[in-house]
A and B are shown apart, each in its own frame.
Chain A
């Protein structure tokens, strides 16, 4: 099969990948250890595969890898720094927003995009921002709380 080379900066590290020209969820980088990018519906409906591409949260299963060539990808693996969890990850844990955890990385990446643009979102804004991330375990209440807590933590760090 024909393969093409693409360059992506994934979690701060510039890497080359050989992908099929119509390869898509390969923003998962061909199963290269980015285990947080989950496989779910494969049709853009569930959010399990969410990554931040060029600063915005996207369902990577419906983005052609070739389109992302030259771009920057952040996955949940890239949230922590030097072994310390990101405030978003801490908040999800503290608020009990993680049950089986399958939806969690995607939720966190959608949260990352939201809080970058809107550091103090209302409950409605949080629900809208997470509306593409389905969770089969929780009732979403704890995720909304977790995002609020994450916003407070990030604001506290900035002080």
Chain B
């Protein structure tokens, strides 16, 4: 690792102050939340670190519009929170237990996880299907869906994520998550998440996503189309999983081949939907 040139470690107490510090520092300044990524991959031209964890942004609150998770809440705090556990029968807890180990989850924050936008992130596909809304500060506060936030990434480059809101679950909401990795502790070869709202036996809302394809987690609109308005049964599940396999863009990298990833998309979508079908019947 090249020798660090960092001369300042700053701990601003508000997003306003943090943004000013970043803008003053230009290319040589970097935000740090948990630091799990920054500590390992600090570019040698960074001279100023701006720690976002002294801004009092780590609370998790249940509000009428959903569960608002402060950006600097650690992944452990999210995993252990009672309101979070209530989302779609504990799907966020299921997913979080597969993110690294407790030692990592005690460091890494939810804001840092969404900002670092790793293609293999386990959090991103699930938060996409749960319709997570991200609130940013870049001179003013703005809230965007996670998908829109990634689409506008360049424009949001110096923004601070201040919170992420997960809609509260209502009757008929179901979700599931699947991760494929070489060992339980490894990062994903591929992951999938699905959310369905089932009304009168039919899927009135459908969101399916995959990550680690190896692109950044994204929705699978064609597979979603197969289920929208349909009943969830062996036949529709099989068709949706095949369409997911056939329409998802996958590629080779050092972890897996694109061809293998297609099979994983099929298996992942199928298992998510079968898991949901099991819960609907129960």
Interface residues of A, Cβ cutoff 8 Å to B: 2, 4, 20-22, 24, 43-44, 47, 50, 53, 56-59, 61-64, 66-67, 110, 113-114, 128-129, 131-133
Known interface pairs A64-B39, A67-B53; A44-B32 also in contact (CB < 8 Å): no
- The contact sample of 11 A-B pairs, CB cut-off 8 A, is A20-B4, A22-B39, A44-B100, A44-B103, A58-B103, A62-B36, A64-B32, A66-B9, A66-B49, A110-B102, A132-B100
Which A residues are CB-close (under 8 A) to B42?
Answer: 22
Which A residues are CB-close (under 8 A) to B100?
Answer: 44, 132
Known interface pairs A21-B6, A62-B36, A62-B107; A113-B51 also in contact (CB < 8 Å): no
| Distance, CA A102 to CA B4, complexed state (A) | 28
Of residues B8, B35, B97, B103, which shows the largest number of chain A Cβ atoms within 10 Å of its Cβ? Answer: B103
Q: Is the CB of B107 within 8 A of A132?
A: no
| Distance, CA A21 to CA B49, complexed state (A) | 8
- Which single residue of chain B is at the shortest CB-CB distance from A24? B39
Known interface pairs A21-B7, A22-B42, A67-B51; A59-B103 also in contact (CB < 8 Å): yes
Interface residues of B, Cβ cutoff 8 Å to A: 4, 6-9, 32, 35-36, 38-40, 42, 46, 49, 51, 53, 74, 76, 97, 100-104, 106-107, 184-185
Q: Is the CB of B185 within 8 A of A62?
A: no
Q: Is the CB of A2 within 8 A of B35?
A: no
Known interface pairs A129-B102, A131-B185; A44-B9 also in contact (CB < 8 Å): no
Which A residues are CB-close (under 8 A) to B104?
Answer: 44, 59, 132
| Distance, CA A20 to CA B76, complexed state (A) | 28
Q: How many residue pairs bridge A and B at CB < 8 Å?
A: 88
| Distance, CA A110 to CA B105, complexed state (A) | 12
19 new A-B contacts, CB < 8 A, other than A110-B103, A131-B185, are: A2-B6, A2-B7, A4-B9, A21-B4, A22-B4, A22-B49, A57-B106, A59-B103, A62-B35, A63-B39, A64-B35, A67-B35, A67-B51, A113-B102, A128-B97, A128-B102, A129-B102, A131-B101, A132-B103
Which A residues are CB-close (under 8 A) to B49?
Answer: 21-22, 64, 66
**Pick from B9, B35, B74, B106: contact of A21, CB under 8 Å:** B9
Q: Is the CB of A22 within 8 A of B6?
A: yes
Q: Is the CB of B35 within 8 A of A132?
A: no
Q: How far is the CB of B94 from chain A (nearest CB, A)?
A: 12
Q: How far is the CB of B277 from chain A (nearest CB, A)?
A: 25
Which B residues are CB-close (under 8 A) to A53?
Answer: 106
Which A residues are CB-close (under 8 A) to B36?
Answer: 44, 62
Q: Is the CB of A22 within 8 A of B103?
A: no
Q: Is the CB of B39 within 8 A of A62?
A: yes
Which A residues are CB-close (under 8 A) to B74?
Answer: 56
Q: How far is the CB of B79 from chain A (nearest CB, A)?
A: 11
| Distance, CA A25 to CA B41, complexed state (A) | 14
Q: How far is the CB of A44 from chain B (nearest CB, A)?
A: 6
Which A residues are CB-close (under 8 A) to B7?
Answer: 2, 21
